[in-house]
């Protein structure tokens, strides 16, 4: 044991002396074996396939489960790249089924639209199903062009579709009556839509947080109580066990399709064995990968610094391996924006191009990135699908994020250039990770990995999951907040316009919600009334209930969202974006703009380019700005509360706060922002600890939105309190509600 400890210390000491590993001289690297997926043992006789096509085991298993009248919910956990999308659409492609497919981002829905249309061209289903992709922006533009209200636009678009591709936000809005008017029955839209579609598909479900999972459960319970039996399909390489347990409680008959548990994957290391599997019909899901581990200090710009230091070696990889395509996937959009011009300048003289793919990238920039040699981004939507790669450098936020990003590599043998296929000559990845993770993987007591060895992907994924920092899953959210939306839906069912129609459904729905969320709707109603009374006293208004509204929403609201005109964006129509104020304060060089000037600029751009721009997302923005540049160094800032925070923090509950201001020395536009910010009513949760401590001790996810705040007793001093807004406030309340112990402490050991 003593010798082992000495080896650990020596290893850490040597690594610190080296000051970080160079790209071409890694000390910690392993090989991940190729992955092959089992073919279907039998194919249903009444299944029509294009000539020469064959199916995988999990694809046929999914089809059979969806056709089984004894199954309501199907969960497919096949690996990334193993054809889950085709599995979901097989029944649709037979021409006898209609479906709503929900994707967590509009970019993913756009990608799936082109894939779905290609499937239809390949399968030639007899009904030639109509495909519609619908986002909030698409809906607004369509309604405007056709002279319709959004309600009529939704009815028209959905009524003309057999396959509807959209995001879960719109699906949620429909079921909470967001697009109805006074006097309309609450089910005016969802009543018909739920009846018209047979299958509801939830893709990439693993990225949903607890509030979104609770919303999906509520919607499923509503559909179950008010309609004939429907089918629900969840596609996720890492299924949500909370969802499965709660659906079973509600009486849903669930079936999990897990190819790995059924030994339907093989991981050959020898070429002869790979050839045997191919001849037996096994499909290659991923190629063998050399995975290198880069250990970095836990500082905001550690990855940026490493990439700049090793940029020449990255360029050398492309020169030594002609025809390579690569991606650098980071956690920070701002880091990508800062690195883009650096890599473009480095690569351009060598005839190599660099593209961008982030959540702020416009459609034009994303499309252009598909032709690049190297893509920098935060998004993995196109990477490994349309943008085929053999070289990957990536950061990760947690274990699931690590596995998902690594899964983008090795999915293709090559890519098409000028009609000719360019074959890759190997697959290489570099994982940029915190020091502690590398030490746990290779250096600690009984480490799971040994440098230079080869591993099967399931074993490796488990090692990452066990050794990565465990983040909070907010399990208590369901009991504490999940039934607030249930109460809203229950009241809708009791509306006089539909009460008789759904007479039996109300009790069924209420009972199911109380069982699933382990609470009483009567108690929830009491809490909701209390929030409404507090709001009336604070605001002087007779209506409204911000806390309940956030609890009923899919992603929550943001009173800190600002409209941005991004002068760094090449395409004019893509320059209009939204960005939260905290990110602006720390990372952006901006110039304040008036709302009127911002809107006039949109209209002028539409007239000049002929491209419609949706304006609805700017309706509730706090302020409007021009983005001049991305800062090289992040600036510190904090919020200030005009009164004392101690009694607010000691209440251990979600509250609505007003009067907040930004304090940031040398900020020339802070005064103008504060004039607007002071009037904002923000659903908040305050903790009497600094942000860094709260993040660490409560195991908060990397991108959890929590900010420093001070009060009148410590004006302009370093903030000793933390505050979260909107749904983040509800999530913090969940921890306080369940974890508050003796002495009023809620900290996790």
- pLDDT tens, 529-558? 999 999 999 988 988 999 999 999 988 878
Query: What are the pLDDT digits (tens) for 156-184?
Result: 778 888 999 998 888 888 888 777 777 77
Token representation of residue 627: 């983005």
Residue among 461, 616, 549 nearest 141 (CA):
616
Residue among 533, 38, 582 nearest 265 (CA):
38
402 — alpha (psi -120 to 50), left (phi > 0) or beta?
Answer: alpha
Interaxial angle between packed helices 503-517 and 521-539, expressed in degrees from 0 to 180 and rounded to the nearest 10: 90
Residue 273, Cα to own-chain centre: how many angstroms?
A: 38
Backbone phi, psi, residue 734, to 5° = -55, -45
Query: What average pLDDT does the segment 11-38 reach?
Result: 64
pLDDT score recorded for residue 714: 76
Token representation of residue 644: 């004392």
At residue 381 the predicted structure's pLDDT band, cuts being 50, 70 and 90, is low
Query: Cβ neighbours of residue 135 under 8 Å, at least 6 residues apart?
Result: 106, 109, 166, 167, 170
At residue 148 the predicted structure's pLDDT band, cuts being 50, 70 and 90, is low
More confident residue, 237 or 172: 172
Query: What are the pLDDT digits (tens) for 680-721?
Result: 999 999 999 999 999 988 999 988 999 999 998 877 778 889
pLDDT score recorded for residue 279: 94
More confident residue, 450 or 368: 450
Q: Looking at the predicted structure, is the pLDDT value of residue 728 above 50?
A: yes
Query: What are the pLDDT digits (tens) for 326-336?
Result: 999 999 989 99
CA Rg value for the chain: 27
pLDDT score recorded for residue 106: 81
Q: Looking at the predicted structure, is the pLDDT value of residue 388 above 80?
A: yes
pLDDT score recorded for residue 159: 80
Q: What is the pTM of this model?
A: 0.90
Planar angle of CA 442, 443, 448, nearest 5 degrees: 40
pLDDT score recorded for residue 138: 77
pLDDT score recorded for residue 384: 65
Q: What percentage of the chain has pLDDT greater than the value 70?
A: 92
pLDDT score recorded for residue 361: 61
More confident residue, 188 or 16: 188
Q: Looking at the predicted structure, is the pLDDT value of residue 478 above 80?
A: yes
d(CA 105, CA 404): 16
Token representation of residue 609: 């380019």
d(CA 613, CA 141): 7
Query: What are the pLDDT digits (tens) for 597-623?
Result: 999 999 999 999 998 898 988 988 999
Query: What are the pLDDT digits (tens) for 509-528?
Result: 999 999 999 999 999 999 99
Query: What average pLDDT does the segment 271-279 reach?
Result: 94
Lowest mean pLDDT among 19-23, 158-162, 346-350: 19-23
Q: Chain-wide mean pLDDT for the chain? A: 88
Can you tell me whether residue 328 is helix, strand or coil? strand
pLDDT score recorded for residue 290: 96
Q: Which domains does the chain have, with CATH numbers?
A: 2-34+287-467 (3.40.50.300), 36-265 (3.40.50.300), 561-630 (no CATH), 638-744 (no CATH)
Query: What average pLDDT does the segment 580-609 reach?
Result: 94
Question: Exposed, middle or buried, 744 (CB in 10 Å: 0-12/13-18/19+)?
Answer: exposed
Query: Cβ neighbours of residue 406 under 8 Å, at least 6 residues apart?
Result: 289, 291, 392, 394, 429, 431
Residue that the structure tokens 């351009």 belong to = 348
Label the pairing between strands 199-203 and 231-235.
Answer: parallel
Q: Looking at the predicted structure, is the pLDDT value of residue 5 above 70?
A: no
Can you tell me whether residue 700 is helix, strand or coil? coil
Query: What average pLDDT does the segment 61-87 reach?
Result: 94
């Amino acid at each position: 044991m003593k010798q082992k400890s000495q080896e650990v210390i020596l290893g850490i000491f040597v690594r610190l002396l080296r000051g970080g590993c160079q790209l071409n001289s890694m000390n910690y690297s392993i090989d991940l074996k190729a992955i092959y997926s089992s073919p279907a043992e039998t194919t249903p006789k009444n299944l029509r396939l294009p000539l020469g096509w064959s199916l995988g085991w999990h694809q046929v298993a999914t089809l059979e489960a969806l056709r089984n009248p004894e199954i309501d919910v199907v969960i497919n956990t096949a690996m990334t790249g193993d054809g889950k999308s085709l599995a979901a659409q097989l029944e649709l492609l037979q021409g006898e089924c209609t479906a709503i497919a929900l994707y967590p981002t509009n970019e993913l829905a756009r990608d799936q639209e082109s894939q779905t249309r290609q499937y239809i061209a390949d399968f030639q289903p007899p009904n030639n199903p109509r495909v519609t992709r619908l986002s909030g922006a698409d809906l607004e533009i369509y309604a405007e062009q056709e002279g319709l209200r959004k309600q009529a636009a939704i009815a028209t678009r959905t009524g003309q579709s057999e396959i509807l591709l959209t995001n879960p936000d719109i699906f949620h809005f429909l079921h909470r009556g967001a697009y109805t008017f006074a006097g309309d029955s609450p089910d005016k839209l969802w009543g018909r839509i739920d009846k018209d579609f047979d299958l509801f598909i939830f893709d990439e479900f693993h990225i949903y947080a607890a509030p979104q999972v609770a919303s999906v459960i509520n919607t499923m319970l509503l559909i179950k109580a008010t309609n004939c039996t429907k089918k629900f399909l969840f596609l996720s390489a890492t299924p949500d066990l909370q969802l499965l347990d709660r659906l079973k409680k509600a009486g849903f008959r669930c079936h999990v399709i897990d190819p790995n548990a059924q030994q339907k994957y093989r991981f050959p290391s020898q070429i002869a064995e790979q050839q045997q599997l191919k001849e037996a019909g096994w499909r290659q899901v991923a190629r063998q990968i050399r995975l290198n581990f880069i250990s970095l200090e836990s500082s905001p710009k550690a990855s940026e610094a490493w990439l700049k230091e090793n940029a020449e070696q990255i360029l050398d990889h492309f020169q030594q391996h002609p025809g390579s395509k690569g991606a650098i996937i980071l956690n920070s959009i701002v880091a990508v924006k800062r690195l883009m011009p650096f890599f473009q300048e480095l690569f351009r003289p060598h005839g190599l191009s660099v593209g961008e793919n982030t959540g702020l990238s416009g459609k034009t920039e994303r499309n252009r990135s598909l032709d690049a040699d190297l893509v920098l981004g935060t998004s993995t939507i196109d990477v490994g699908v349309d943008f085929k790669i053999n070289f990957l450098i990536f950061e990760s936020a947690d274990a699931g994020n690590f596995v998902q990003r690594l899964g983008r590599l090795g999915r293709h043998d090559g890519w098409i250039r000028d009609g000719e296929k360019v074959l890759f000559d190997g697959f290489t990845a570099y994982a940029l990770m915190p020091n502690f993770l590398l030490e746990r993987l290779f250096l600690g007591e009984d480490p799971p990995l040994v440098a230079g060895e080869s591993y099967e992907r399931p074993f490796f994924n488990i090692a990452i999951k066990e050794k990565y920092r465990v983040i909070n899953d907010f399990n208590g959210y369901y009991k504490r907040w999940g039934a607030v939306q249930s109460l809203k839906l229950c009241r809708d069912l009791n509306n006089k316009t539909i009460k008789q129609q759904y007479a039996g459904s109300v009790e069924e729905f209420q009972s199911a919600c109380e069982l699933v969320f382990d609470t009483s709707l009567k108690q929830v109603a009491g809490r909701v009334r209390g929030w409404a009374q507090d709001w009336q006293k604070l605001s002087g208004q007779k209506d409204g209930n911000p806390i309940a509204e956030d609890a009923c929403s899919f992603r929550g609201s943001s009173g800190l969202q600002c409209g941005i005109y991004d002068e760094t964006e090449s395409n004019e129509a893509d320059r209009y974006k939204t960005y939260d104020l905290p990110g602006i304060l720390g990372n952006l060089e901006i110039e304040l703009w008036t709302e009127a000037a911002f809107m006039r600029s949109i209209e002028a751009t539409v007239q000049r380019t002929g491209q419609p721009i949706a304006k609805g997302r700017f309706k509730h923005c706090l302020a409007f700005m021009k983005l001049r540049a991305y800062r090289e160094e992040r600036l510190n800032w904090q919020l200030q509360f005009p009164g004392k925070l101690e009694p607010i923090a000691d209440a251990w509950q979600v509250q609505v706060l007003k009067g907040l201001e930004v304090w940031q020395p040398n900020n020339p536009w802070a005064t103008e922002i504060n004039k607007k910010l002071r009037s904002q009513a923000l659903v908040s949760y305050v903790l009497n600890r600094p942000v860094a401590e709260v993040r660490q001790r409560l195991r908060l996810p990397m991108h959890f939105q929590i900010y420093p705040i001070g009060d009148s007793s410590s004006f302009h001093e370093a903030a000793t309190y933390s505050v979260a807004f909107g749904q983040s406030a509800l999530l913090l309340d969940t921890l306080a509600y369940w974890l508050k112990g003796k002495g009023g402490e809620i900290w996790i050991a």
